[in-house]
Every structure is written in structure tokens, then in C-alpha cells.
Amino acid sequence: MAASLSVAGAQGALAQDDPIKLGFAIALSGRQSVTDTDGYRFAQLWIKARNENGGLLGRQIEFVTADNKTDLGESVKAGQKVLAEDPDLVVVSCDYDFGAPAAVQVQKAGKISVFMCAVDPKAGVLGVGPASFSGGTASQLDGAIIADWALEKKELKKTFVLEDVAGEAQKSSCAGFEWMYEQLGGEITGWEQFRFDDASISAQVSELSKSIADDGTEAVMLCSHLGAGGAVRQIRSAGIDVPLLGPSMFDGVAWTSAVPGLTDFYIPTQVLIDGDARPEVTALTESFVDAYGDKPSSMFAYPIYAWLELWAKAVETAGTTETQAVVEVMNGFTNEATTLGPRTFTPQLHIQTSMPMQISEFTDGKQVYVEEWGINEEIPNNILYRVGN
């Protein structure tokens, strides 16, 4: 079945020149739509705000949209559909797997593509092409930041790792954690694997309990995502009350109903939906609520807004939407300011691998802001691409 196509006109008076056009080859149906839809809404807020303030290069912005239906084959079709409308930029799904088929089509057409919030460095130059970007942070950065923070602020020197092997992003967060934690002098006291959808992880919990008793384990790094609520419940139900650490994929509180009263669980995120310390982020969240009647489902909705801010700066600097000229400008961005904080791109890396993140804590089932935290070292390529380690 061909992907459906919709065209949304920009608000405001028509510019004399042809409008700038954005394409969205994203999931508006299927399980990936939960993440993509809110990112799409933030992108529309950005477009509306730009158009109300004169557009871009004095031109209004329009957008075309095709649903990839959370299907790899449909992602190819969605990419082709929006490319037929000759967009200046194409936004693809947050998830690398579902966004990549469309992004590859965009690269073949010589256009810029951006994953809404992919956490895999392959979403950029290496996996798709030199004009492919992600609005997200590498999962390795999640792991590295929470490792650094756990040692420096919580003095958790012995950690047991539970690695969810059901997805590459989960494995990548473990890679970043191990790299940073051990080089700072932390000791990994044990390492067990599981899948987030396992009905029981009793064997792994038993090993964890033994490590706490025998090795003095002080914390658990849970390299998984919010689908692992059952695993968290089993850990706490076993009487294990040491601090839990995790990547940003645990963001949001809906999943915590599986673990009533969840406390002492810490994660890094780009944004905190409730209680972010930055007024500009709070204002952005409020604008989303005003427009759509509810808060975003998770922090993964936000990154595309900041990325579009950067793209617009590059277009204005280049004086054109032409791919090579815009990419060249973006590749020179170092700690470039956005509503969500500084962003950096290089010719080799089109995903964030060094920006500070917001540490939050789950306490009594609520997610609350702790502080902003960053790392001082660059994550090496063998960790970013998980080769030779």
C-alpha cells in the first residue's frame, strides 16, 4: 500500500518567492508514531513561529508529510513520496531503523535529512551519508554522563551492569558507561544480559543479589528503556534498594506504574518535561500544551525543534537552502546556542556526543530535576561505533 501524503500550507501572507519546503517521512501510525507524532508537532510549532516572524530568507515555509506506518518498506515509499514534492529538507523517524530507509532515499536525491531524535551515531555520516543528521544524543553519551555523575556526585564506586541485548541503543548506553566508569576508577562488579520483554529475570537478579553481598556492589546500571518496567519491578521486589542508573530511554513517568513508588533511579535527558531549570525550555513546553492540550510524551519530542533552529541559522549564513552550502556551515557549529542548549557538529559526526544533559531522579514515582551535568572527554570512535571493544 502506498504511503499516504498530506500537504499543509504555511500560515501568513505568501512570500513573493517560492516557499521553502520541508518534508516529513515519519510514523503517523504504528508503534513508532508515539514518538514521531510529538516531534512532528514540535516541528510544526517551529514552522508556525518562523512564518509569523517573516519565514526564512524572506520566504514562508510549507511542509509535506508521508506516513511510513512504522514499516521499513513503507519508509522507503514515504521518502520517495515527499521527495516528489522537491523539499529543501526531509525529516525522518526518530528511530534509526525506521528512519534510515527514507534517509537513504534523501541522500541519493542530494538533499539534507535529519532523524528526529535517533541515538545511533550511524544516523549521520557513516550510516547514511554526509548530509544526514540527527537531533538526538548518542546513547554512549547517556552512559558516559551517568557514569561520571554517579562517581563524582554519588560516590558510587562499585556498579553491577544489566545489559538489555534486545536493541543496539541499549548496548550503546552500556558501552559509554563502561568506558567512562572504568577510566575514572569505578569497578564493574558483574555483568548480566537480559531482554526488556523477558517475563522473568530471576537468574540475573540472583547474581545481582550475590554481588551486593559478596562484592559490595553499590549501584545497578540498567542499560534498557521504559519497556523494562517489569525488570525494575523484579529488582525492587527482591529487596534490592541500591541506586539504579539508566539512559535517557527511561524518560517519562507513564511506565513507572509498573513499579509503584519507584525511588532512587537516576537518568540523563536532553529535557525535563516538568521542572526543567531553563526558562526557555519551560516556555517551549507551555507552547506545546497551549497548541495541543497536553504535554509531550517524553523528552524525545523536543530535539527536532533545536535542530531546526540550527538548520535555519545555517541557511541564513549560507544565504541558500542548497545542500552542500548548508552542510558546510553546520559542520562548523561548535557549542552553537539553541533553545535546548549548545550543539556541535563536525564533518565526521552529525549527532551530539559531548553536550551537557539534565540529570533527573525518580522519587516516589515522580521524575524530578537534579542538576545539569556534562563530560570533559571526547568519546572515542571505537566506543561510538562499538568496534574493537
> Would 176 be classed as within a structural domain?
yes
CA distances (Å), 184 to each of 163, 269, 375, 377, 381, in order?
20, 22, 12, 11, 19
- 242 and 371 within one domain: yes
pLDDT at 339 over 70: yes
CB atoms within 10 A of CB 376: 6
- What percentage of residues in the chain have a pLDDT greater than 70? 95
Residue for grid cell 566506543 = 383
- The b-or-e profile of 239-253 (16+ CB within 10 A means b, else e) is ebebbbbbbbbbbbb
Residue 174 · residue 143 · CB < 8 Å: yes
Report the pLDDT value the prediction gives residue 258, as an integer from 0 to 100: 94
- 29 and 86 within one domain: yes
Which pLDDT band holds residue 16 (cuts at 50, 70, 90)?
A: very low
- 158 and 282 within one domain: no
Angle, alpha carbons 75-80-84 (nearest 5°)? 150
Which pLDDT band holds residue 125 (cuts at 50, 70, 90)?
A: very high
> Would 19 be classed as within a structural domain?
yes
pLDDT at 156 over 50: yes
pLDDT at 229 over 60: yes
> Would 344 be classed as within a structural domain?
no
Q: What is the pLDDT of residues 254-290, one digit of tens each?
A: 899 999 999 999 999 999 999 999 999 999 999 999 9
> Would 39 be classed as within a structural domain?
yes
How far from chain centre, in Å, is Cα 285?
A: 17
* 3-state SS class at 101: helix
- Report the residue count for the chain: 389
CATH number at 298 reads 3.40.50.2300
Cell numbers representing residue 375 in the block = 563530560
Which pLDDT band holds residue 7 (cuts at 50, 70, 90)?
A: very low
- 164 and 213 within one domain: yes
Report the pLDDT value the prediction gives residue 14, as an integer from 0 to 100: 40
Q: Under 8 Å CB-to-CB from 104, ≥6 apart: which residues?
A: 79, 128, 129
- 102 and 12 within one domain: yes
Report the pLDDT value the prediction gives residue 17, as an integer from 0 to 100: 76
> Would 156 be classed as within a structural domain?
yes
> Would 338 be classed as within a structural domain?
no
- 372 and 262 within one domain: yes
- The string of DSSP letters for 58-71 reads TB-EEEEEEE-TT-
pLDDT at 2 over 50: no
Q: What is the pLDDT of residues 162-217, one digit of tens each?
A: 999 999 999 999 999 999 999 999 999 999 999 999 999 999 999 999 999 999 99
pLDDT at 252 over 60: yes
Number of domains in the chain: 2
d(CA 38, CA 33): 8
- 361 and 221 within one domain: yes
Angle, alpha carbons 199-159-184 (nearest 5°)? 140
Q: Domain limits at 224?
A: 139-269+356-384
> Would 341 be classed as within a structural domain?
no
CA distances (Å), 18 to each of 117, 253, 319, 321, 369, in order?
29, 44, 15, 12, 44
- 105 and 186 within one domain: no
Report the pLDDT value the prediction gives residue 141, as an integer from 0 to 100: 99
d(CA 222, CA 204): 12
d(CA 180, CA 130): 28
- 90 and 187 within one domain: no
Output the average pLDDT for the chain: 95
> Would 342 be classed as within a structural domain?
no
Report the pLDDT value the prediction gives residue 13, as an integer from 0 to 100: 39
Which residue stretches of the chain are H helix?
Answer: 33-52, 72-83, 96-108, 139-152, 168-183, 202-215, 229-237, 279-292, 303-318, 323-330, 381-384
pLDDT at 334 over 80: yes
- 376 and 308 within one domain: no
- 248 and 375 within one domain: yes
CA distances (Å), 209 to each of 51, 165, 217, 219, 238, in order?
57, 21, 9, 11, 8
CA distances (Å), 345 to each of 216, 271, 329, 339, 348, in order?
41, 20, 10, 16, 8
- 310 and 217 within one domain: no
CB atoms within 10 A of CB 291: 13
Q: What is the pLDDT of residues 57-104, one digit of tens each?
A: 999 999 999 999 999 999 999 999 999 999 999 999 999 999 999 999
- What percentage of residues in the chain have a pLDDT greater than 90? 95
